[in-house]
Structure 1
Amino acid sequence: MAFLEIRGVTKSFGATDVLHRVDLEVEDGDFLVLVGPSGCGKTTLLNMVAGLEQVSSGEIAIKERVMNDVHPSQRNIAMVFQSYALYPNMTVAQNITFGLEMHKVPKPERDKRMREVAELLQIGQLLDRRPSQLSGGQRQRVAMGRALVRKPDVFLFDEPLSNLDAKLRVTMRTEIKKLHQRLGATIFYVTHDQVEAMTLSTKIAVMDGGYVQQFGTPKQIYDHPANVFVATFMGSPAMNLLPVTVTDGHAVLADGQRLRLANAPAGAERKALLGLRPEHFAAPDDAAEGLPRLKGKVSVIEPAGSDTYAVAMIGDCECTARLRADAQVQPGADFEFACEMAKASLFDPDSGKRIE
């Protein structure tokens, strides 16, 4: 049995179906990230695990105990909110220990846990301050400390980094990752940021329209997307999709260019979408010797320090290639791109599903 199980869960608000038979299993110590666009149902699912929303049908179980009718205070979960939700009239120390006080934990034990968490999060010097005297990153650490001190079965994070600036978001992402590795805690994390999902998780559930589109490890999601939505949502820049005809072991573009497929699907000639991520393109130098080539006309060059992004028309599609910083490519010029076809994906243009 999994540590946290979500079995056939649905959620409706009146006549509106928000979640459709969601099935997920989270093992003890997993870092599960729910990722998807706004309105896809990920926060609603998190709120149902927390007990803040009722399940319309299906079951949610923690440590084999069904939680559908269990009050939130009895679920042994802890939440970290997007808005931090700190009490402005309390000190950091009081904010961290308030939940323990409400559960009648003796003061010596409360103080002991607070000191342990303060040391872990390096906020010992902030204990006497109030939230208004803290930066955004410090407030988020305090919110995390309030969750950690509870020693819950499951930590629930609801877009905890979205209010931080870009640099601080990266720093806090690293801190959360270190924290998970150190504690081995079970974490259920919601975000719309696919970079957060890839860097933090041990498992990812990609959601759209109330459905789980794919569930797997970050590598499985990125290298073998189940459908066009996952392929284009996960990855920045997004995967390039080129309409092709698959015939005789080759993908044939609209302009007649042909690429041999590493794993051609069996069967008759068919239409497909060829998926190539930006990093699957390379400049045609010695390192790319032996790789098949695609010709394109470059329209835009975007230097990005360690890389150069080239936007080019290939066939009748605009594609983005991620090249080395020193790649000799110019806007307006014709260019040959080497393609790593062993990493390419194929999708059905009608259903959007992956073709194996």
Structure 2
Amino acid sequence: MGFLDIKRATKSYGAVKVLHETDISIEEGEFLVLVGPSGCGKSTLLNMIAGLEEVSSGDIAIRGRSMNGVKPAERNIAMVFQSYALYPNMTVRGNIAFGMEMHGIPKPERERKIGEVAQLLQIEPLLDRKPGQLSGGQRQRVAMGRALTRDPDVFLFDEPLSNLDAKLRVDMRTEIKKLHQKLGTTIVYVTHDQIEALTLSTRIAVMYGGHVQQLGTPKEIYDNPANMFVAGFMGSPSMNLFPAKVTGHEGRPAAEIRLGDGSLARLPFAQGFEGQEGREIMLGIRPEAITDRDGADRNARALQVIDARVEVTEPAGSDIFVVSQMGGRDVTGRFRADVPVRAGEHFPFAINMDKAVAFDPKTEMRIS
């Protein structure tokens, strides 16, 4: 039994089921991120944990106590919203203190907690300002400070950074991670941003269509996606997915692919697929496993260099993304920035098949 247990939980609105049977067990101190596109059920699940939505069937328990029928105020949870939800007529100090006042905490204790969270979040100079005088990042810190004074069993974050600009989102990600490492709190965090999910979490639940597609550590999700949806959703740029056929090459099973110029290339697998010649698969390879020859992993067991036509180059500072056609689809490789690669020319692509995964094109589930 975990610290927070979600057991066969579902949510329906009339005949429409928006969350199918969901099982997740969260240990104390974990940082679980629920990630997926809009409408996948992640916010619905968070609201069910908070008590803002009733569970249609199944159970949600915190510290072994079922939360079914328990009011939000009695669950000992704290929630940080996307919209900050600050009172505009109150100062920062008043916003942080408000919840404590409602719970009858004496003023000396309130002031002590306000001082602690203000120092922790570096908002001490802002205590006498009102929300309208703060930047988006400052408002988010105040919203977090208000939640921290609660000393809850579980913190719930509902897309807290989506209203911030790109640089501020990166800064706030770092602050939230530092906060979790310092306090060791249990956090459930909802986002549609897979980079947030990978950088913040100890575990990730990837959701789509009301189902948890995969639950695992960031490394497990990134390196070993359970299906084509997870492979394509997680990572930036996302995993390359393109059709191939299992064949033989120099006595080893290999993936045969058609390049943009019509020629065929064979990529030997690092392992597996013996006796499966002729099988159609979807091959999945991350951009960093498709690179220039000198930038390739020297320890790779199954490194294959193929000559392919460059369709597009996309300089990105420290790297250059190079697009070619494989299996009739655009495939992106990550090259070193100083590699002299040009659109319209042929260039050697080094492909690390140690990092390749394969999926069944019909079921879209991983097969190796």
TM-score, normalisation: structure 2? 0.94
CA distance in 2, matches of 1:296, 1:316: 13
Pairs aligned (count): 356
Q: Is the CA contact (8 Å cut-off) linking 1:297 and 1:314 kept in structure 2?
A: no
Provide the residue aligned with 1:256 in structure 2: 264
Alpha-carbon shift at residue 287 of structure 1 (Å) = 5.1
CA contact (8 A) 1:296 1:315 kept: no
Give the SS at the match of 1:129.
coil
1:334 to 331, 335, 346: 346
Offset of residue 288 of structure 1: 5.5
Q: For 1:1-356, list aligned pairs within 5 A.
A: 1-248=1-248, 249-254=253-258, 255-269=263-277, 270-285=279-294, 291-356=303-368
Distance 1:112 1:36 in 2: 39
Contact 2:295/2:335, CA 8 A, preserved across alignment: no
Stretch deviating more after TM superposition (6-15 or 257-266): 257-266
> Please, which runs of 5 or more residues in structure 1 have no aligned partner?
none
> 1:328, CA displacement in angstroms?
1.8
Report the RMSD for the aligned CA atoms in angstroms: 1.3
Q: What residue ranges of structure 2 are gaps of 5+ in the alignment?
A: none
Looking at structure 1, the residues matched to 200 and 102 of structure 2 have their Cα atoms a distance apart, in angstroms, of 32
TM-score (norm 1): 0.98
Alignment partners' CA distance in 1, 2:217 and 2:273: 25
Q: 1:24 to 1:267 in 2, by over 3 A?
A: farther
State the SS of the aligned residue for 1:257: strand
Distance 2:275 2:21 in 1: 33
Q: CA deviation at 1:315?
A: 4.0
Q: Do the aligned residues in 1 keep the contact of 2:290 with 2:333 (CA within 8 Å)?
A: yes
CA-CA distance at 1:247 after TM superposition: 3.2
- Looking at structure 1, the residues matched to 296 and 147 of structure 2 have their Cα atoms a distance apart, in angstroms, of 49
Amino acid aligned to 2:41: G
CA distance in 1, matches of 2:269, 2:199: 30
- Give the Å deviation of 1:257: 1.2
Q: CA deviation at 1:318?
A: 1.2
How far has the Cα of 1:266 moved from its partner? 4.6
Given residue 83 of structure 1, which amino acid in structure 2 is its aligned partner? S
- Aligned-pair identity in percent equals 64
